[in-house]
Amino acid sequence: MSIKTVKVSNVSLGATEQDIKEFFSFSGDILYVELQRNDGQSQVGYVTFKDSQGAETAVLLSGATIVDLSVVVTLAPDYQLPPDALVQAPSKDKTPGGAESAFRKAEDVVSGMLAKGYILGKDAE
């Protein structure tokens, strides 16, 4: 089973679900975003993509800044979508791709985000 969800740690309290969706939209089609209050200084977010390549690409953005904090993005293999989040999305035929297409996708994501003005950390480049 492929992992489709990432955990986003150290999310600014000023960040909204919309901010998270916009930030990770470069990585792939998003099915669901959940934000949870972590402590008095940050939140934890979970972003579930339609396919595992979206999650794998999102992990490359660890170290980037969302609103005003540098986030840590990791795969979340144990995350369970809430029952009300299970929406049937239309299935699409998968296009075969390999490491080369994943690398090209990662380059496109980073280029697009830099063009939009996002600040990426050294881990994201």
Q: What is the mean pLDDT of the chain?
A: 83
pLDDT top residue among 111 and 49? 49
Sorted by sequence, the CB contacts under 8 Å of residue 113 that are 6+ apart come out as: 23, 26, 61, 64, 120
**Cβ–Cβ < 8 Å for 28, 51:** yes
Tell me: the pLDDT tens digits for 18-29? 999 999 999 999
Q: Which fold has domain 5-79+96-124?
A: Alpha-Beta Plaits (3.30.70)
Check residue 38 and give its pLDDT: 81
Task: Give me the percent of the chain exceeding a pLDDT of 70.
Answer: 78
CA pair distance 89, 48, nearest whole angstrom: 13
Cα–Cα distance list, 71 to 64, 84, 90, 111 (Å): 6, 27, 31, 19
Domain ranges of the chain: 5-79+96-124
Q: Is the pLDDT of residue 93 over 50?
A: no
